[in-house]
Amino acid sequence: MQRIFGRNVSFCVMLCCLFISFICVDHFYPTLRISKNIQKIIYDSVTEKAVEKYFTVSTNSKNTLVRLNEPNSHNTVKNISILSQKAVARLTKQELQQIKGYGTSSPIVVKKYKLVFFWNQKAGCTYWKRLLQFIQGVKNKELHVPGRNGLTHLTQFKDSEITEMMFDNSWTKAVFVREPRERVLSAFLEKGLNPARMRDMCRRPAVKSLLEFITLIKTCKDVHWSSQVKLPRHLYKYTWIGKMPDINSYTEKLLTKIGAWNDTVNNYLHSKEQFEKTRPHATSANEKLLQYYNDTKSQDIIFKMYAADYDVFKFDKKYFN
Ligand SMILES: *[C@@H]1O[C@H](CO)[C@@H](O)[C@H](O)[C@H]1NC(C)=O
Ligand SMILES: *[C@@H]1O[C@H](CO)[C@@H](O)[C@H](O)[C@H]1NC(C)=O
Ligand SMILES: *[C@@H]1O[C@H](CO)[C@@H](O)[C@H](O)[C@H]1NC(C)=O
């Protein structure tokens, strides 16, 4: 009898201890959980939007924070929330490097209109660079060489500034892309068939067919045919994505959004000078699509090689025929 009683008591004590420790842990748990992801937090005011704006570690952690700041949450530090900018590990070194790009490929920044433009080779890049010069009154003839084209590139900014640009929605992030089959064909016609270009880029003679070119670019890497997915995927939700067929309406929408659209710009875009400079790049490959993609084999290879592009930019995988 006594032994059973004793056992019951110790069982109760155990339960009590468990309960007390549970309360303690629950009391501190929010802080613990938060500090696991972010070393030190200076709390301020709380809105989901604010958390959304600055939080990038993971969706899970963001949801945890938002939940912890709900009125009925277990949060012991009242009214905590927005993570101080300094305290948050927002983009990794690797992500920042990926965003900045390398050398001549770096995105263009137009500070005046708070625009970061992620352009791509063989996707209207001449058109965009000329336009971004124009809206800033830059008269430089040089287009492609940073430092000589009068344009500002993302590589010129500090990591903290780039992070701010990426997450502050007063900055517009624009991405312009082209359908991969169209872009590869354009590269084939302009580079693949050109002996001098092939010698420079791939150390070999010109190719003879599109299929040969497609096979070659699996091993000969170059920015003119590399993937147009140049941002960590989770950042695309903050970007305005434009595609070649919509170049005109997209231009107007984008420039209107940043406050750079007016009659002068509109007239410039429709001027003969601008038209002739950019038209060949924009359309010559398009007209030849049907002629060159006359079987499914090469298209299947491209679908596979550029799977990320098709996925992120939602290009239609319908065969040309
Ligand atoms: C939390 O902060 C906001 C803005 O700083 C303030 O309006 C609100 O009253 C605060 N809430 C509490 C519970 O202190
Ligand atoms: C239109 O925009 C351009 C480029 O941003 C600017 O140079 C020009 O002064 C503007 N014109 C008018 C009439 O506002
Ligand atoms: C497909 O196009 C290539 C290149 O234009 C051409 O050489 C080939 O004969 C065409 N094949 C068919 C089946 O039309």
From first CA to last CA, the distance across the chain in angstroms is 90
- pTM for the structure as a whole: 0.70
The closest residue, in CA terms, to atom 4 on ligand 1 is: 45
Amino acid 274: pLDDT = 72
Distance in Å, CA 262 to ligand 2 centroid: 6
Q: What average pLDDT does this structure show over 39-65? A: 46
Q: Which residues pair with 139 in a beta bridge?
A: none
Q: What average pLDDT does this structure show over 198-227? A: 96
23-32, 96-105, 311-320: segment of lowest average pLDDT: 23-32
Please determine, for residue 262, whether its predicted confidence score (pLDDT) is greater than 80.
Answer: yes
pLDDT tier at 301, thresholds 50, 70, 90: very high
Q: Say how many C-beta atoms besides its own lie within 10 A of residue 191's C-beta.
A: 22
Top pLDDT among 92 and 210 is at 210
Please determine, for residue 280, whether its predicted confidence score (pLDDT) is greater than 90.
Answer: no
Please determine, for residue 61, whether its predicted confidence score (pLDDT) is greater than 90.
Answer: no
Distance in Å, CA 195 to ligand 3 centroid: 22
Task: Work out the angle between the directed axes of helices 180-187 and 297-305 (0-180°, nearest 10).
Answer: 110
Length of the chain: 321
User: pLDDT averaged over the chain?
Assistant: 80
The radius of gyration computed from the CA coordinates of the chain, to the nearest angstrom, equals 27
> Is there a contact between 77 and 43 (Cβ–Cβ < 8 Å)?
yes
Longest dimension (CA), the chain: 104
pLDDT tier at 102, thresholds 50, 70, 90: confident
pLDDT tier at 198, thresholds 50, 70, 90: very high
Number of the ligand 2 atom closest to the C-alpha atom of 134? 4
Determine if ligand 3 sits within 6 Å of the CB of residue 291.
yes
Say which ligand is closest to the CA of 70: 1
Please determine, for residue 230, whether its predicted confidence score (pLDDT) is greater than 70.
Answer: yes
Q: What average pLDDT does this structure show over 56-84? A: 53
pLDDT tier at 288, thresholds 50, 70, 90: confident
The closest residue, in CA terms, to atom 4 on ligand 3 is: 292
Q: How far apart are CA 260 and CA 257, in angstroms?
A: 8
Amino acid 98: pLDDT = 95
Please determine, for residue 10, whether its predicted confidence score (pLDDT) is greater than 60.
Answer: yes
Distance in Å, CA 155 to ligand 2 centroid: 27
pLDDT tier at 30, thresholds 50, 70, 90: very low
Amino acid 273: pLDDT = 75
Determine if ligand 2 sits within 6 Å of the CB of residue 262.
yes
Q: What average pLDDT does this structure show over 269-294? A: 73
